[in-house]
């Protein structure tokens, strides 16, 4: 029941005693606890810490019951001549009338999905809301419109020696890597995306610590962290970013997205990756709901022992790829079996959060991630190994010293298709293959057909590849 003194402040007497007046009063009474979001075709309710979708309108119906009983009690106490007013509100003891009341409320003060989570540096903790840019914090406030809650109990003085020792061990004491990882994780607990990048944690061996790091950060961030299958980002999965599936819609509002281990030979959807890491607006839709637009606020973290292929070289040239090496292998005697459980304890999570927040502040002060040389070299090596066209030309062709020899591009493409299948690589379609070739070497039209200029097909190439 709502206390009479609380209702008194709202002056229920001033609202007309009809459906419109009653729905307006209901909306006013629950203005800080209930809103309707048209894009999601649903009410959202505030539980004292966070706004959540009211699945099936169950909470909303409970609010309506509480409202009717509370208003009737209010008028019993405040008006002696209350027969007419009680007769009006008693109609809403009927479920059908309450349902009509709820339906009428939808159009009174609907809010857009864009109104939620607008503060990029606010992190909703269990005991308060923290601004990670300043370290300031305040009590939970429905006006912040936050839809996520972390598992952090904020303590500005907390520190986690367990975590810092763990980071030191997995980065093998390399201070440049440790400080970079600190800034990268700090950046990832915000919803800012100005770095326009994604992260790959790569280790050639197992038991290198990247799984423990990922699960710890996922636990710390709670609702702010999501998992996604690598198939979501595979090149064959989506033909158009404008029709992104529910797989993409469910990532709206996330900050840290952990991508499952890709299969060996996977090719990333370069266009989708650039969209998700480039501040572009994305149109997505939940099943049976209206479509909505959002700008990705999350940072992708791909944890893998097999580097995915990235066919579009501009993904590298634009600085989107951030490759973090995990070269340490923990043998049986070095493994701490109780570490994972200790890291997610309340006091450690508080300290880990402060460590990440400091990383964000350092990144903001220093103007970026400050990529160390060791990571730059890893990215360069990745880019070189990812250059399928360069590898193809090197293995299958010899340069003509005079630069005059021509090979039909259709014949070159047949050789390329066989070479890809031989090596387990994805075959580009003819249009994309031609574009890639034009970026690297001379291609011109001769007697109505495209030709590769200045190269011979190697004699070692099987004849059936050319047929």
- Banded model confidence at residue 236, pLDDT cuts 50, 70, 90: low
pLDDT per position as a tens digit, 207-221: 899 999 999 999 999
> Pick from 384, 405, 435: which residue ends a domain?
384
Which pTM was predicted?
0.85
State mean pLDDT over 338-358: 98
Distance CA 363, CA 466 (A): 53
Distance CA 170, CA 329 (A): 8
Q: Is residue 303 part of a domain?
A: yes
In terms of domains, do 348 and 211 share one? yes
In terms of domains, do 37 and 167 share one? no
In terms of domains, do 259 and 284 share one? yes
Q: Is residue 337 part of a domain?
A: yes
Those residues whose C-beta lies under 8 Å from the C-beta of residue 460, and which sit 6 or more positions away, are none
Structural domain harbouring 461: 387-466
> Pick from 359, 384, 409: which residue ends a domain?
384
State mean pLDDT over 162-180: 98
In terms of domains, do 314 and 445 share one? no
In terms of domains, do 331 and 403 share one? no
In terms of domains, do 317 and 433 share one? no
pLDDT per position as a tens digit, 131-166: 999 999 999 999 999 999 999 999 999 999 999 999
| Count of domains forming the chain | 3
Res 462 pLDDT > 70: yes
pLDDT per position as a tens digit, 302-333: 999 989 988 788 999 999 999 999 999 898 88
In terms of domains, do 370 and 404 share one? no
CB 249 within 8 A of CB 284: yes
Q: Is residue 134 part of a domain?
A: no
pLDDT per position as a tens digit, 254-296: 999 999 888 877 889 888 999 999 888 888 888 888 888 898 9
Q: Is residue 93 part of a domain?
A: yes
CATH number at residue 209: 3.40.50.300
In terms of domains, do 168 and 295 share one? yes
Res 242 pLDDT > 80: no
In terms of domains, do 59 and 196 share one? no
Q: Is residue 450 part of a domain?
A: yes
Distances (CA, A) of 339 to 81, 212, 361, 448: 69, 9, 27, 67
């Amino acid at each position: 029941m709502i206390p009479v003194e609380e209702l008194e402040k709202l002056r229920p007497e001033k609202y007309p005693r009809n459906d419109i007046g009653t729905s307006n009063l209901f909306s006013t009474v629950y203005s800080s606890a209930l809103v309707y979001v048209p894009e999601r075709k649903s009410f959202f309710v505030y539980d004292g810490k966070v706004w959540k979708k009211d699945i099936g309108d169950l909470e909303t119906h409970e609010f309506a019951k509480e409202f009717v009983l509370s208003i009737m009690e209010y008028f019993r106490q405040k008006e002696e001549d209350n027969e007419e007013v009680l007769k009006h509100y008693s109609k809403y003891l009927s479920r059908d009338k309450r349902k009509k009341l709820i339906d009428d409320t939808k159009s009174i003060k609907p809010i857009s999905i864009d109104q939620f989570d607008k503060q990029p540096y606010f992190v909703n903790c269990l005991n308060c809301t923290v601004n990670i840019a300043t370290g300031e914090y305040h009590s939970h406030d429905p006006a912040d419109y936050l839809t996520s809650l972390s598992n952090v109990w904020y303590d500005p003085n907390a520190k986690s020696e367990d975590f810092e020792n763990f980071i030191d061990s997995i980065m093998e004491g390399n201070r440049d890597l440790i400080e970079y990882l600190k800034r990268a994780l700090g950046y990832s607990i915000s919803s800012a995306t100005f770095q326009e990048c994604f992260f790959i944690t790569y280790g050639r061996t197992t038991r290198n610590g990247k799984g423990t790091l990922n699960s710890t950060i996922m636990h710390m961030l709670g609702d702010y962290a999501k998992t996604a299958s690598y198939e979501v980002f595979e090149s064959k999965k989506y033909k158009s970013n404008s029709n992104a599936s529910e797989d993409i819609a469910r990532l709206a509002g996330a900050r840290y997205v952990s991508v499952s281990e890709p299969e060996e030979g996977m090719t990333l959807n370069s266009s989708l990756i650039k969209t998700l890491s480039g501040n572009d607006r994305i149109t997505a839709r939940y099943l049976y709901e209206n479509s909505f637009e959002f700008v990705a606020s999350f940072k992708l973290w791909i944890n893998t022992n097999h580097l995915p292929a990235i066919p579009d070289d501009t993904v590298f040239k634009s600085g989107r790829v951030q490759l973090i090496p995990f070269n340490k292998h923990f043998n049986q005697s070095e493994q701490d079996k109780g570490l994972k459980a200790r890291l997610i304890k309340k006091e450690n999570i508080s300290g880990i959060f402060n460590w990440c927040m400091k990383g964000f502040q350092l990144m903001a002060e220093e103007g970026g991630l400050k990529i160390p040389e060791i990571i730059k070299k890893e990215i360069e090596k990745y880019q070189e190994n990812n250059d399928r066209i360069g590898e193809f030309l090197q293995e299958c062709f010899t340069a003509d010293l005079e630069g005059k020899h021509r090979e039909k591009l259709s014949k070159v493409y047949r050789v390329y298709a066989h070479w890809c299948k031989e090596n387990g690589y994805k075959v580009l379609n003819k249009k994309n293959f031609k574009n890639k070739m034009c970026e690297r070497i001379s291609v011109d039209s001769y007697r109505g057909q495209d030709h590769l200029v200045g190269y011979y097909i190697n004699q070692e190439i099987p004849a059936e590849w050319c047929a």
